[in-house]
Structure 1
Amino acid sequence: MTAGLYACSGSGPAPQPPPGGSVPPNPPGKGVSPFTGLPAASAPVLAVKIDNVRPARPHTGLGAADIVYVEQVEAGQTRLLAVYSSRLPATVGPVRSARESDLELLRQFGRPALAYSGEQSALRPLVDAAPLFPLTPGDARGAYFRSQDRPAPHNLYVRPERALAAAPEAGKAKDIGFRFGAAPPGGNRVDQHTVRYPATRFTFTWSATGERWLVAMDGTPTRTTDGGRATARTVVVQNVEVRPSRFRDRGGNVTPYTETVGSGTALVLRDGRSHAARWSRPAADGVTSFTTPGGEPLTFAPGQVWVVLTGR
């Protein structure tokens, strides 16, 4: 793994759009990330499954992600699936186990690497059959460590560069359907939007001075250990089918399955406004397109994107 291919984030600020509002044409061309619409070198894709119960917070390395997905898990809780390519932070975590839904969600990325703590034995055959590189602590030795500042199982962390060294053939960033550009016309002015799960809630508050959505979880501002306040340039609230799967956790709770293939409605938050949208992903290995009700591509603001997958 060549460190020069990546810009390590540490606690530094996220890359900003080019001066003057200049945005590369859609879809993003060479030298522009298809995940953020910002300048970036072509690099492998690493997804990391991140714990999100209260004892797991604050997170580490979240600000460097290109995309952050929010998924429902057992008992109405949520976990995050952070996707990295443009930048690799030194550390990401806490890392937790994968779910069946992750396999379908990641198909659109080609053959990415997936860092996670493990899976129940019945799920492993599905993981092995999926087009990805599984990177558990056993698969990527030396890439993981446990912190002493919080109790297990909320203290497992991964070093992304070391993890990717165990998956040298991981696929590079490719078009997954996101389009970036000037704000679409219309929409409704909104200062705050909340998405509720049975046991968790996410609130996104617009900051005009920072031109960002400030993230809060369960009423508390979301902060990271290495980058300050968690923010997003664009938030996509994607309404999907969430159904029971055939898997259960150790406590006997049924694992939800989040359907990300198909179509439905969405709400896109950018630049202090909300825009009604439609999403469509006809096949697992295809892209997810977001359009206006009239069928035009709905452009995102260049920068980190949060996709909140919530039940209809």
Structure 2
Amino acid sequence: MCGVTALRMTTPARRLRSRRTGSRAWAAVVLIGAACALTGCVTAPPTETTPTAAAPAVAPLRGTPIDPADAEHPSLAVKIDNLAAARPQIGLERSDLVFEELVEGGLTRYAALWHSDVPDDVGPVRSIRPMDPDLLSPFGGIVAYSGGQPQFIEAMQNTPVLNVIFDQDDSGVFRRVDDRESPHDVVLSAAELIDRHADLAPPERQFDYADSAAAAGAATAGEAAGTIVTRFSDSSERSWTWDPAGVAYLRSQDGAPDLDADGGRLAATNVVVLSVSVDRSTDVPRTILDGTGQAWVSTNGSTLPATWTKDAPAAPIRLTDADGAAIELAPGNTWVELVPTDGGGAVEILP
């Protein structure tokens, strides 16, 4: 891994039952007490029991400790714009997971998920793409987007995910803002949307997590790597540079620091790169997400070669090492780069 590696690639009924059960138990105690008074029997002292500590709850999409009550709500996936005019994005720095995917013209767009830390607003919101049903089905919950081609919308609506679409919504959770140019001006009231659908189930865990960054798979079995460069096309380059002081990877786009709306650098605890095939038979590229392929997992300043597998549209992405064992990520947020094997797609791991 040293050097440069370029790779193309309780109810009332229950209370009633409790009262009846308690009455029968009390009657039994009275009868036993009367019998002991007549026979002189000896009662054994009560046995002490040691309570078993419950395992701490962790956020399913982040692996960090969480109050179980705070996790009882659905996740929210949102299609987020990544054109230069859409930056800085709103709320992206608080996401649990971000998937970066190739779209038309060699550009990229995000499918970002929030669950453990939901902002009031996120955006700019853009349209759905053909790979999103396969990508987002494993999480359930809600997906929000601005629209899209009818066949892509239909495919997304045929998943277990609740679709909330700007072009069809009259609930007021979307709005256009004045400080951004159209079409990069659609903002979603994320926290409000989740509150309205709090009865939906929380997401299933997508990845495995270690107890700490030092115990993560890449940290224990990988090799030191300071920078991960991903190219989605000849015109779209992304890089992640390890920052030991911040214990995170710092993101750049096309050679410039990638900033959030407050001027801070976008960062990730884990960077996962998947080498993927892309169907280019139509004008809208479709990332192929069923099957398996090469991957790289970067955590705590080290990178570990891996294999990614996705067995079915509703199945999560699994990451395994050379021995077929699951790779554990560090607790924290994760960015997943879906890098094409062709069309200028490339991965470089630099020392």
Q: TM-score category by the smaller chain?
A: 0.7 to 0.9
> What residue identity is the alignment partner of 2:236?
T
2:145 aligned to which of 91, 94, 116: 116
8 Å Cα contact 1:234-1:306 kept in structure 2? yes
Taking the aligned partners of 1:58 and 1:180, their CA distance within structure 2 comes to 31
Shift of residue 132 of structure 1? 1.1
Q: Deviations 1:10-52 (Å, cap 9, x if unpaired)?
A: xxxxxxxxxxxxxxxxxxx662112111023322110010000
Partner of 1:249: none
User: What is the Cα deviation at residue 140 of structure 1?
Assistant: 5.7
Q: Quick one: which amino acid aligns to residue 318 of structure 2?
A: S
Counterpart in 1 of 2:65? 39
Paired with 2:250 and 2:183, the residues of 1 have a C-alpha distance of 28
**Cα pair distance change 1:237/1:204, threshold 3 Å:** same
1:94 aligns with 2:124: yes
Gaps of 5+ in 2: 1-54, 342-351
Native 8 Å contact 2:207 2:328 kept in 1:
no
| Match status 1:196 vs 2:226 | no
* Paired position in structure 2 for 1:222: 258
User: Contact conserved, 2:222 with 2:302, CA < 8 A, in 1?
Assistant: yes
Contact 2:100 2:109 in 1 (8 A): yes
Which one has a bigger Cα radius of gyration?
A: 2
Match of 1:212 among 236, 242, 248: 248
**Matched length:** 276
Contact 2:209–2:216 (CA under 8 A) maintained in structure 1: no
> What is the CA–CA distance in structure 1 between the aligned matches of 2:207 and 2:221, rounded to whole Å?
22
Instruction: Evaluate the alpha carbon distance shift between residue 36 and residue 262 of structure 1 in structure 2; reply closer, same or farther with a 3 A threshold.
Output: same
| Structure 2 residue 180 is the aligned partner of structure 1 residue 159 | no
How is 1:21-36 mapped onto 2 (pairs within 5 angstroms)?
Answer: 31-36=57-62
Question: What's the counterpart of residue 292 of structure 1?
Answer: 321
- 2:191 maps to a residue whose letter is E
Deviation for aligned residue 1:163: 2.3
- Offset at residue 95 of structure 1 (A): 0.7
Equivalent position amino acid for 1:294 in 2: D
**Amino acid of the residue matched to residue 188 of structure 1?**
E
3-state secondary structure, aligned to 1:224 = coil
User: Which stretch has the larger CA shift, 124-133 or 216-225?
Assistant: 124-133
- 1:187 alignment partner in structure 2: 222
Letter aligned with residue 301 of structure 1: A
The code of the aligned residue for 1:273 comes to S
Q: Please give the alpha-carbon distance, in whole angstroms, between the structure 1 residues aligned to 2:195 and 2:247.
A: 36
1:277 aligns with 2:309: no
Task: Indicate the residue corresponding to 1:139 in structure 2.
Answer: 169
How far 1:164 sits from its partner (Å)? 2.6
Q: CA separation of 1:227/1:301 partners in 2, compared to 1, >3 Å: closer, same or farther?
A: farther
Instruction: Find the aligned partners of 1:244 and 1:30 in 2 and give their Cα distance.
Output: 45
Paired residue secondary structure (2:313) = coil
Spell out, residue by residue over 1:162-200, the C-alpha distance to the aligned partner (whole angstroms, 9 max, x if none). 223454543312122333341333322111111011131
**Does the C-alpha gap of structure 1 residues 168 and 245 become closer, same or farther in structure 2, counting only changes over 3 Å?**
farther
In structure 1, the residue matched to 2:203 is 173
The SS at the match of 2:316 is coil
CA distance in 1, matches of 2:75, 2:295: 25
Report the alpha carbon displacement of residue 260 of structure 1 after superposing the two structures with TM: 1.7
- Listed as ranges, the gaps of 5+ residues in structure 1 are 1-28, 247-253
CA contact (8 A) 2:102 2:109 kept: yes
CA distance in 1, matches of 2:198, 2:170: 12
Partner SS state of residue 308, structure 2 = strand
Q: Percent identity?
A: 33
- For the 8 Å contact 1:139–1:166, the answer to whether it is kept is no
> Per-residue deviation at 1:301?
1.1
Write 1 or 2 for the structure with the bigger share of helix.
2
What residue number does 2:286 align with? 257
- Deviation of the 1:220 alpha carbon: 1.2
Going from structure 1 to structure 2, the CA distance change for 1:91 and 1:275 (only over 3 Å counts) comes to: same
- Please tell me whether residue 234 in structure 1 is matched to residue 309 in structure 2: no
Displacement after TM superposition at 1:139 (Å): 2.8
Instruction: Give me the TM-score of the superposition, normalised by structure 2.
Output: 0.75
Tell me which amino acid in the other structure corresponds to 2:202. Answer: K
Aligned-pair distance for 1:289?
Answer: 1.4
Residues 75/224 of structure 1: CA separation in 2 closer, same or farther (3 Å cut): same
Q: Structure 1 residue 100: deviation in Å?
A: 1.5
